[in-house]
Every structure is written in C-alpha cells, then in structure tokens.
C-alpha cells in the first residue's frame, strides 16, 4: 500500500477528464457497438445501420455525437462518408473491454 503523500504514476488531470468523457459517450450500447465495429474497418452510414438493424436517423445521431467528441472522423468518398475511430483513448478503452475488435460481416 502506498503512503498518502506518495505521488501515484497517473497522467495529468486533463487525461482523466478526456477519458471520463469518452467513457460517458461509450456508455450507450449503440455507440459502443459502433466504435467496436469501426475499430476493425471503416464503414459508411448505410452499412452501419444495416449491421445494427436500426433506422438511419438513429445511427446518424449517434455518429454525430461520436464525431463531436472526436472519437471518430468521417472521410468522404464521392457521395458517401466512411467513418473510422481516431481516438487513441477510445481504441484503448474498447480494446480493454473486448480484447479483439468485433465486426459486422
């Protein structure tokens, strides 16, 4: 056990704030599924909502939140946008939960 005055080898408070925000966002099952799936491959909105069997509007709302929190980014190819996970913190957190990534085939 460590002495109360001994500094623990933790990162800065800002790191905890960022990871806490990511945990809050990933606390929703749909967003967790989206991020876990996007860790194995980038996908467009249509493929994501087909895999999740959810309405396109629902998936788009979740993607918007993930994008606003800088967890994913979109890459335009013609008329389609392909999403991928770009947050190293989210990759680490989801990787710790699932070990390997999951995908929609």
End-to-end CA distance of the chain: 47
pLDDT score of 93: 92
Tokens of 1: 């056990």
Q: What does each C-alpha distance from 76 to 11, 25, 44 come to in angstroms?
A: 35, 24, 9
What does the pLDDT look like over 27-62, one tens digit per residue?
Answer: 999 999 999 999 989 999 999 999 999 999 999 999
Q: What are the pLDDT digits (tens) for 13-30?
A: 677 888 899 999 999 999
- pLDDT attached to residue 98: 85
Q: How confident is the model at residue 1 (pLDDT cuts 50, 70, 90)?
A: very low
List of domains in the chain: 38-105 (1.10.10.10)
| pLDDT, tens digit, 9 for 90 and up, residues 44-53 | 999 999 999 9
* Nearest CA-CA partner of 61 in 20, 87, 30, 93: 30
What pTM value is reported for the model?
0.81
């Amino acid at each position: 056990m460590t002495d109360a005055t001994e500094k623990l080898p933790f990162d800065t408070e800002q790191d905890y704030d960022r990871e806490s925000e990511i945990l809050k966002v990933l606390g929703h099952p749909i967003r967790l599924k989206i991020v876990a799936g996007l860790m194995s491959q980038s996908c467009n909105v249509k493929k994501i909502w087909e895999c999740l069997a959810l309405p396109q509007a629902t998936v788009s709302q979740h993607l918007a939140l993930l994008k606003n929190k800088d967890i994913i980014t979109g890459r335009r190819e013609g008329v389609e946008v392909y999403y991928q996970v770009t947050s190293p913190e989210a990759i680490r957190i989801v990787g710790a939960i699932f070990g390997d990534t999951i995908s929609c085939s």
